[in-house]
């Protein structure tokens, strides 16, 4: 079974999936065993690894360790750039920043990365990446040099999502940005979900299980959390997120 098939199966069985994002810049390798063991015990469905900057050198070695601690769960690279590729992962979200008008992030870096991904035999999961306005400028917005889609104009997000569906993308990622002041609004998720059949991944600034549940209710197929699990009380929090997402999905 491919990672893509696994994710679709999770969505089918649980109604909604929970993806935990770990940024190597924020989580040193020595912290991985405890965090990941707890996440697995809490019922997380897959791990994402990557970040907007990646100041941490030796991404490949990091992912090698990451994969060991992930046990049976898929390890999916969520790349902030062409330098974030590793043969130790199971798959990579092959992103195109469709909300922006920067050709480098629409197709440029993808052309550079494709032969590397091919040679490493990594599963590439084509994903339309849509940045949604979320308050202060986020790292994703700044680093990509693009403007996010307006949060109060769902019709613009819908038009982008339809274009993504017609292109044949396998997922649409509605992104508030890491640590966003405001997460992607339910109105945008619901509007996009009403117009496309492509499963929606929603992340950025989701801080409570209640908020995660509302996003699943609005039409998100997968919820991503990153920053919130950096807090000391993350042991029970990850479990609460998992329960909220899966209950709402079912
Ligand atoms: C960011 O969607 C992810 O790319 C997760 O964001 O760190 O704010 O949870 P947070």
Pocket-testing residue among 227, 230, 241, ligand 1, by greatest number of atoms within 8 A of Cβ = 227
Residue 67: its pLDDT value, please? 98
Q: What is the DSSP letter of 132?
A: B
| Per-residue pLDDT at 214 exceeds 80 | yes
Instruction: For residue range 128-155, list pLDDT tens digits in order.
Output: 999 999 999 999 999 999 999 999 999 9
Ligand 1 atom nearest the C-alpha of 229 is 9
Residue 250: its pLDDT value, please? 77
Q: Rounded to the nearest whole angstrom, what is the distance from the C-alpha of residue 51 to the centroid of ligand 1? A: 9
> Residue 205, class by beta-carbon neighbours within 10 Å (0-12 exposed, 13-18 middle, 19+ buried)?
buried
Q: Rounded to the nearest whole angstrom, what is the distance from the C-alpha of residue 25 to the centroid of ligand 1? A: 13
Hey, where are the domains in the chain? 3-245
Ligand 1 atom nearest the C-alpha of 21 is 5
Average of pLDDT values for 162-182? 98
| Per-residue pLDDT at 125 exceeds 80 | yes
| Residue 232 pLDDT class (50, 70, 90 cuts) | low
| Residue 185 pLDDT class (50, 70, 90 cuts) | very high
**DSSP string covering 78-98:** --SSTT---TTSSEEEEEE-T
**DSSP string covering 206-238:** --SHHHHHHHHHHT-SEEEE-GGGGSTTHHHHH
Residue 81: its pLDDT value, please? 85
Ligand 1 atom nearest the C-alpha of 204 is 6
Name the packing angle between helices 186-195 and 154-167 (round to 10°): 40
Kindly list the protein residues whose Cβ atom lies closer than 6 A to any atom of ligand 1.
Answer: 21, 175, 178-180, 203-206, 224-228
Name which residue sits closest to atom 1 of ligand 1, judged by CA: 178
Ligand 1 atom nearest the C-alpha of 202 is 2
Average of pLDDT values for 116-122? 97
For the beta carbon of residue 239, count every other beta carbon within 10 angstroms.
17
Average of pLDDT values for 185-214? 98
| Residue 234 pLDDT class (50, 70, 90 cuts) | confident
Going by C-alpha positions, the residue among 249, 242, 95 that lies closest to residue 174 is 95
CATH architecture classification, 3-245: Alpha-Beta Barrel (3.20)
Name which residue sits closest to atom 4 of ligand 1, judged by CA: 178
Ligand 1 atom nearest the C-alpha of 176 is 2
Q: Rounded to the nearest whole angstrom, what is the distance from the C-alpha of residue 179 to the centroid of ligand 1? A: 6
| Residue 121 pLDDT class (50, 70, 90 cuts) | very high
Q: What is the ipTM of this complex?
A: 0.97
- CA dist 57 and 16 (Å) reads 34
Residue 163: its pLDDT value, please? 99
Instruction: For residue range 48-92, list pLDDT tens digits in order.
Output: 999 877 667 799 999 999 999 999 999 999 998 888 999 999 999
Q: Rounded to the nearest whole angstrom, what is the distance from the C-alpha of residue 177 to the centroid of ligand 1? A: 6
| Per-residue pLDDT at 17 exceeds 90 | yes
For the beta carbon of residue 44, count every other beta carbon within 10 angstroms.
23
């Amino acid at each position: 079974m491919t990672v893509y098939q696994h994710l679709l199966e999770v969505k089918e069985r649980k109604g909604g999936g929970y993806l935990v994002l770990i940024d190597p810049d924020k989580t040193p390798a020595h912290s991985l065993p405890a965090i990941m063991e707890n996440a697995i015990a809490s019922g997380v469905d897959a791990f994402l690894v990557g970040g907007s900057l990646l100041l941490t050198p030796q991404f490949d070695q990091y992912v090698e360790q990451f994969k060991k601690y992930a046990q049976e769960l898929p390890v999916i690279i969520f790349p902030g750039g062409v330098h974030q590729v590793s043969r130790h992962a199971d798959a990579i979200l092959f992103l195109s920043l469709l909300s922006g008008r920067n050709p480098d992030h629409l197709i440029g870096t993808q052309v550079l990365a494709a032969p590397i991904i091919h040679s490493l035999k990594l599963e590439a999961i084509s994903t339309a990446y849509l940045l949604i306005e979320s308050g202060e400028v986020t790292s994703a917005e700044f680093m990509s040099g693009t403007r996010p889609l307006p949060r109060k104009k769902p019709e613009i997000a819908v038009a982008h999502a339809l274009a993504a569906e017609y292109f044949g993308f396998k997922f649409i990622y509605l992104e508030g940005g890491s640590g966003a002041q405001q997460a992607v609004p339910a109105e945008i998720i619901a509007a996009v979900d009403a117009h496309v059949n492509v499963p929606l991944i929603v992340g950025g600034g989701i801080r409570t299980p209640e908020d995660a549940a509302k996003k699943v209710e609005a039409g998100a197929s997968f919820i991503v959390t990153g920053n919130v699990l950096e807090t000391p009380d993350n042991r029970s929090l990850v479990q609460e997120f998992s329960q909220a997402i899966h209950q709402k999905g079912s």
